[in-house]
Structure 1
Amino acid sequence: MAINKYINSSNKRNDIYPFSDAPNTAVFICSHILDSGEDILFVSHDTDDGAWQFLCDKEHNESDARIVSLKYVLNLDPTISNLNDLPLGYCAQRKSKSDKWVIAKN
């Protein structure tokens, strides 16, 4: 099954795993990042269920949602390691991959 490729990714680029959530934690990512290589520009850590969402700056609908492991996202973009302690109910945003994250309450 194709989803296992993303959830069980064993890419070794990150030797130290910075998140308290397990590497195989299922997270949401938009298809634009996963399929088209768009940058992660918005990250949300939801209050109600602790879910992580990783999005680009395009418009999204439910059909754009994909589920991958947190470790897979970290391998895609190691700069998200700076958000390892993003509290529940907060989000982080940036204008480009080279910009610093701006953190705000959801």
Structure 2
Amino acid sequence: MNVQVIQGRFAEVPTADARGMDRRAFGEFIGGPHLTAQQARAHEDLPFMWWVADNALATDRRAWWLLHWLLQTNCIQTAEVFDMREPVLLVGHDEDDGIWQLIGTSDAGPDGKLGHLSHAIDEDPTLIDVLDLPRGQSAVRSAVGGPWTRQLGYPD
């Protein structure tokens, strides 16, 4: 089956309780409260739904944001990046522990702050371009919106 994914913006609206944003990338959600967890796992369409999810991850880079949001992926950010005083110019995905690092123009030091990767992407959507970095790789750019250069390890 050939699937065509047309990338666009996330659909964002405030949640009814005004405690967050409802983000949707692929239209309306399928399923709902009418199925129990056991019924959903046994449903005949489950293999197809996983196939759709796998293909969306492979063809629509916005799905990587959703995956990190669902997993609540942590990242360490320099204080300047965390406080939004500097843009992210270096993204690293550590080989040993899998932690993500976001670094700006200041050197990384002991004052790093822990945050969620999805929140950093909310502030700088251009980070979506490097969310598929395998462990042990990093990506660097000279300015926000500039092209990312991927490499093994971290730059000297």
Q: Same fold (TM over 0.5)?
A: yes
1:50 corresponds to: 98
Partners of 1:44 and 1:17 in 2: CA distance: 19
Paired positions, count? 97
CA distance in 2, matches of 1:11, 1:30: 26
* Alignment correspondent of 1:39: 87
Who is 2:76 aligned against?
28
How much has 1:60 moved relative to structure 2? 2.6
Q: Secondary structure at the match of 2:142?
A: coil
Contact persistence 2:137–2:150 (CA under 8 A): yes
- Percent identical residues: 25
Indicate the residue corresponding to 2:149 in structure 1.
Answer: 102
Q: Which runs of 4+ in 1 moved over 2 A?
A: 9-17, 19-22
Higher relative contact order (CA 8 A, sep 6+): 1
CA–CA distance in structure 1, aligned partners of residues 126 and 146 of structure 2: 10
> Which runs of 5 or more structure 2 residues have no equivalent in the other structure?
1-18, 26-61
CA distance in 1, matches of 2:82, 2:90: 14
